[in-house]
């Protein structure tokens, strides 16, 4: 089936149309959603930028908390700028540049994004937030020594094991000052109530370094406490809260006139002011932070229930259309394939066909399946016929040989030379049939061996004519050869003599006395044509397509002895094909036949 398929009926076009329809629906829905949610998406992006800005502020606040000045901050600023892709600039409150990721001379944004002051803004305790108070990373004189840290680590480990014995799982966390804290994931272990076994007070006692810093702090805060009448004459810091990681509330103060909450607030205010003054030499000066184009307020993204419904509805609609279109197209495509599958699963001997209902690729497939079924049916019939013919070919000479041997054994006939000659002739016939079958089997299996060499066509024709001269004279047929030029072949001379010999033998059997059989050779472009022409009875037009089929004979009534085995011409076709050529027959009843072998020529 090679008819041209209309463009609109091609399977590829139909699939493309279905895909385009789905794509149009998807694009339309996506565009609608994009228009509806662009503003909210931008706000979400602004929220992400704000989170990056808070991270930059926290990093620079950490630098200020751990350095007494801004020397060397340029490297940190540039690293943060490369990571965020934004401009970052630090200036003094008077806008004198400290560090800037932009080229020198670039104008600053109109307003600062934030103020870097770790003594008044805590960006460490809660990630992404700014809390009032001293940044815990500002430790100054409160940083414990290595020896003190080792002692505190041992005490923290003892406290952790004590908590474990009392059923509490705790971790040891290092604070910025180096003091370890025993805590769990939810906060203070045992809700701040230390089991009596673990309450040894050793971990809570300030170290000598801390005591020295606290004494200085007490001295700095004494004047303020005196003004408020809160001075007790002793150090106001009695212990360390090991569950608190912030510097501002870690060192516990003594009690001031129970019930007077105002006194406590005033005392804490005095201590905070003194602590800032104490830590100020260890902290970089206050700086202004400029980010990008300024400090635009970010709006937190929040999808409303209405927008959620729109998104879900649009997605559901696109999915429904996609499923519907795909189901319809797939059903039409699968139906003929199911018919093909059902036909292929039927028993082979039924030779089931399928109806061809379309003109697209599936229709072509169905037609090809039907043609394959027809070829298989013909091959099965030919196989059965071939088995029958082979059995007949082998049975006839064997029956003759057996019959003569039995009558000789019984003494009915004497084994005279004529009888032996007849038996020898039957054996030769049997051998010829077996040799022909072997050649065909080799050709079918692709194991037919060729020994190629340069062969002159005039020599091949002369040898074939000499081999059949006696048979031609006995039949009263003239056998002659004609050669145009000196054509040559790159071929196996034995196989070429076999192919031409089969053609000549066939021509002699079908040419009456007084006829002529001619062998000729000539060049035709790059090919060489070898022809065997006879003036015999010819072949009927309806029989001509079958002359190269195995065991085929035009006259079914002719015996195998006079009509041949029906294997000669198939062998000719296979031998020529093995040489890369073709075999062709032309005939007119009552005039004769011409068998042409076209083979690739060789250089003369």
The whole-number pLDDT of residue 598 equals 93
Any idea which of 9-18, 141-150, 179-188, 190-199 has the lowest mean pLDDT?
A: 9-18
- Distance, CA of 425 to CA of 396 (rounded, Å): 12
Beta strands 88-91 and 97-100: pairing type? antiparallel
pLDDT of residue 568 exceeding 70, the answer is yes
The whole-number pLDDT of residue 529 equals 93
Domain with CATH 3.30.565.10 in the chain: 448-602
Contact between residue 481 and residue 443 where contact means Cβ atoms under 8 Å apart: no
Contact between residue 24 and residue 54 where contact means Cβ atoms under 8 Å apart: no
Using the structure block, give the residue that is written with the tokens 């064997």.
398
CATH number attached to the domain at 448-602: 3.30.565.10
Any idea which of 89-103, 214-228, 252-266, 443-457 has the lowest mean pLDDT?
A: 252-266
Mean pLDDT of 386-408: 73
Any idea which of 83-97, 188-202, 358-372, 415-429 has the lowest mean pLDDT?
A: 188-202
User: 256 versus 344: which is more confidently predicted?
Assistant: 344
519-558 residue pLDDT tens: 999 999 889 999 999 998 888 888 888 788 766 665 544 4
265-314 residue pLDDT tens: 777 788 888 888 888 999 999 999 998 753 343 344 445 677 667 767 77
For 238, list phi and psi in degrees, rounded to 5: -100, -25
Query: pLDDT over 90 for what percent of the chain?
Result: 15
Best CA proximity match to 148, nearest among 176, 182, 177, 188:
177
The whole-number pLDDT of residue 229 equals 74
The whole-number pLDDT of residue 552 equals 63
Other beta carbons less than 10 A from residue 281's beta carbon: 9
Beta strands 527-534 and 592-602: pairing type? antiparallel
Q: Interhelix angle for 417-445 vs 568-578, to 10°?
A: 40
Query: pLDDT over 70 for what percent of the chain?
Result: 76
225-260 residue pLDDT tens: 778 777 655 556 655 665 566 666 666 655 554 445
301-333 residue pLDDT tens: 445 677 667 767 776 787 677 777 777 776 777
3-state helix, strand, coil in the chain (%, to 5): 50, 15, 35
Domain with CATH 1.10.287 in the chain: 361-426
The whole-number pLDDT of residue 528 equals 93
pLDDT of residue 402 exceeding 90, the answer is no
Average per-residue pLDDT for the chain: 78
Mean pLDDT of 90-97: 91
CATH number attached to the domain at 361-426: 1.10.287
Beta strands 516-524 and 478-483: pairing type? parallel
Rg (CA), the chain: 54
User: 65 versus 249: which is more confidently predicted?
Assistant: 65
9-30 residue pLDDT tens: 666 567 667 776 776 777 677 7
The whole-number pLDDT of residue 562 equals 44
Residues 6+ apart with CB under 8 A from 160: 170, 171, 172, 182
- Distance, CA of 507 to CA of 442 (rounded, Å): 25
């Amino acid at each position: 089936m090679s008819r041209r398929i209309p463009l609109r009926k091609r399977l590829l076009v139909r699939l493309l149309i279905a895909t385009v329809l789905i794509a149009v629906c998807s694009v339309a829905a996506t565009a609608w959603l994009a228009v509806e949610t662009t503003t909210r998406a931008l706000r979400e992006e602004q929220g992400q930028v704000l989170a990056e800005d808070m991270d930059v502020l926290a990093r620079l606040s950490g630098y200020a908390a751990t350095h007494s000045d801004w020397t060397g901050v340029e490297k940190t600023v540039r690293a943060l700028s490369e990571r965020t892709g934004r401009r970052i600039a630090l200036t003094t409150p008077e806008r004198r540049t400290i560090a800037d990721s932009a080229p020198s001379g670039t104008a600053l944004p109109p307003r600062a994004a934030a103020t870097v002051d770790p003594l008044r803004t805590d960006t460490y305790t809660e990630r992404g937030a700014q809390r009032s108070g001293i940044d815990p990373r500002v430790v100054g004189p409160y940083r414990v020594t290595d020896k003190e840290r080792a002692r505190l680590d041992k005490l923290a480990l003892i406290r952790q094991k004590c908590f474990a014995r009392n059923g509490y799982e705790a971790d040891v966390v290092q604070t910025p000052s180096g003091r370890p804290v025993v805590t769990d994931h939810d906060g203070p272990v045992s809700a701040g109530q230390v089991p009596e076994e673990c309450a040894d007070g050793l971990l809570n006692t300030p170290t000598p370094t801390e005591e020295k810093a606290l004494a200085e702090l007490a001295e700095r805060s004494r004047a303020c406490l005196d003004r408020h009448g809160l001075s007790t004459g002793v150090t106001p810091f009695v212990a360390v809260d090991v569950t608190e990681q912030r510097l501002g509330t870690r060192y516990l103060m003594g009690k001031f006139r129970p019930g007077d909450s105002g006194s406590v607030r005033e005392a804490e205010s005095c201590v905070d002011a003194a602590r800032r003054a104490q830590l100020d030499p260890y902290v970089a000066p206050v700086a202004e932070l400029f980010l990008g184009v300024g400090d635009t307020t970010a709006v937190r993204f929040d999808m409303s229930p209405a927008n959620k419904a729109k998104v879900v509805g649009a997605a559901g609609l696109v999915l429904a259309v996609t499923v519907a279109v795909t189901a319809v197209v797939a059903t039409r495509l699968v139906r003929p394939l199911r018919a093909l599958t059902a036909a292929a699963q039927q028993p082979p001997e039924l030779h089931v066909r399928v109806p061809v209902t379309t003109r697209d690729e599936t229709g072509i497939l169905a037609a090809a399946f039907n043609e394959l079924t027809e070829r298989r049916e013909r091959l099965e019939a030919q196989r059965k016929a071939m088995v029958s013919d082979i059995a007949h070919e082998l049975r006839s000479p064997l029956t003759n040989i057996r019959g003569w041997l039995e009558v000789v054994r019984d003494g009915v006939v004497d084994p005279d030379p004529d009888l032996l000659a007849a038996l020898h002739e039957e054996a030769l016939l049997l051998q010829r049939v077996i040799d022909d079958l072997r050649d065909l089997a080799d050709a079918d299996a692709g194991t037919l061996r060729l020994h190629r060499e340069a062969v002159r066509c005039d020599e091949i024709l002369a040898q074939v004519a000499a081999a059949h001269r006696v048979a031609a004279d006995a039949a009263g047929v003239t056998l002659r050869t004609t050669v145009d030029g000196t054509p040559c072949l790159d071929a196996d001379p034995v196989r070429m003599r076999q192919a031409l010999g089969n053609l000549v033998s066939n021509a002699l059997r079908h040419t009456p006395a007084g006829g002529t059989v001619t062998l000729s050779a000539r060049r035709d472009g790059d090919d060489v044509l070898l022809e065997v022409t006879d003036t015999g009875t010819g072949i009927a037009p309806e029989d001509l397509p079958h002359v190269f089929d195995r065991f085929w004979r035009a006259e079914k009534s002719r015996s195998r002895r006079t009509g041949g085995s029906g294997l000669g011409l198939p062998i000719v076709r296979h031998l020529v094909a093995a040489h890369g050529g073709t075999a062709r027959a032309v005939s007119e009843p009552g005039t004769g036949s011409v068998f042409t072998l076209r083979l690739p020529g060789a250089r003369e």
